[in-house]
């Protein structure tokens, strides 16, 4: 029935002198083979035991490599059946990146205008969102983001001052998440709410839209691995120029 028994694809050799973990080497190699189509969608890969033996690694190591790709949506395992390729490229769960990074990646030449930058005690709703004490000092930022010469988004952020200090120049030249990461602060968890509403007169003017035009709204709070709140953001995007793309995967 399943004629596509794994062809003897090229040996995946591992480098035991490398500091890269073996399971990761195996996973990366498999991912390459799949992305290049050398193992086609629907094809079954070799069973764990044989694969492990052929690579000269243990079965747990092989399992861990396969598991890694299963979690990324490339492979599917069924007990008693085998492991099958279901998608030729990684489906990332959801990116936790900033708009700026996305625009750079998409070659849309972003530019940032810093409209406001000051420190102030956090208003209650923002303190609540950040899960910090009311009145905690935060840096309040208002930015206008351009892409391809056109205004795209109006962004408001609050960052606790003891998390990061920011300058106008930094913000004009880099995305907020890049600045965070550069300071060793890695956002790991975030909650977002995405909605829509009509533009106010002032927003329409700033964003070069007609009054009452539809805007996408996004509010987000991001935490680092230690559970410390890094950033609260409340942004509006021109719906005519922007939308959110998400890849979901459910266990």
Instruction: Choose the one of DNA, a copy of itself, none that binds residue 82, judging by a C-beta under 5 to 8 angstroms depending on kind.
Output: DNA
Least CB distance to a copy of itself at residue 248 (A): 5
- Site residues for DNA, 49-108, by CB under 7 A, read 49-50, 56-61, 63-64, 77-83
Distances from the Cα of 40 to the Cα of 13, 33, 37, 81, angstroms: 21, 9, 5, 18
With beta carbons less than 8 A apart as the criterion, state whether 247 and 91 touch.
Answer: yes
- Measured in whole angstroms, the distance separating CA 173 from the mean position of its chain's CA atoms is 21
User: Which of DNA, a copy of itself, none lies near 41, with the C-beta cut-off 5 to 8 A by kind?
Assistant: a copy of itself
Helix axes 59-71, 22-35, angle to 10 degrees: 50
Is 198 a binding residue for DNA by CB under 7 A? The answer is no
Name beta bridge partners: 217: 195, 236
> Residue 21's Cα: distance from chain center in Å?
23
Q: Which helix (H) or strand (E) holds 171?
A: helix 168-173
Using rule CB under 7 A, residue 246 touches DNA:
no
Q: How far is the CB of 162 from DNA (least distance, A)?
A: 18
Q: What are phi and psi of 143, to 5 degrees?
A: -130, 150
Binding-site partner at residue 21 among a copy of itself, DNA, none, CB < 5 to 8 Å by type: DNA
Compare residues 120 and 196 and give the one whose CB is closer to a copy of itself.
196
Residues lying near DNA in the complex (CB under 7 A) are found at 1-2, 19, 21-24, 45, 47-50, 56-61, 63-64, 77-83
């Amino acid at each position: 029935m399943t004629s596509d028994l794994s062809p003897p694809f090229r040996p995946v050799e591992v480098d035991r002198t490398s500091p890269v973990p073996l399971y990761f080497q195996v996973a990366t190699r498999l991912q390459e083979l799949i992305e290049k189509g050398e193992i086609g969608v629907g094809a079954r890969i070799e069973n764990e035991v044989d694969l492990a033996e052929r690579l000269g690694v243990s079965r747990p190591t092989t399992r861990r490599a396969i598991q890694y790709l299963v979690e990324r949506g490339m492979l599917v395992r069924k007990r008693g059946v085998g492991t099958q390729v279901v998608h030729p490229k990684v489906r990332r769960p959801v990116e936790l990146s900033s708009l700026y990074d996305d625009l750079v990646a998409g070659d849309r030449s972003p530019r940032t205008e810093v409209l406001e930058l000051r420190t102030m005690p956090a208003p209650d709703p923002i303190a609540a969102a950040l899960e910090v004490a009311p009145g905690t000092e935060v840096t309040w930022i208002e930015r206008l983001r351009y892409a391809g010469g056109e205004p795209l988004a109006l962004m408001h952020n609050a960052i606790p001052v003891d998390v990061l200090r920011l300058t106008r120049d930094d913000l004009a030249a880099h995305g907020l998440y890049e600045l965070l990461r550069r300071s060793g602060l890695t956002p790991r968890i975030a909650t977002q709410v995405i909605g829509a509403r009509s533009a106010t007169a002032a927003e329409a003017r700033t964003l070069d839209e007609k009054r009452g035009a539809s805007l996408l709204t996004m509010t987000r709070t991001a935490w680092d691995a230690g559970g410390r709140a890094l950033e609260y953001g409340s942004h509006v995007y021109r719906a005519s120029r922007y939308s959110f793309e998400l890849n979901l995967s459910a266990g």
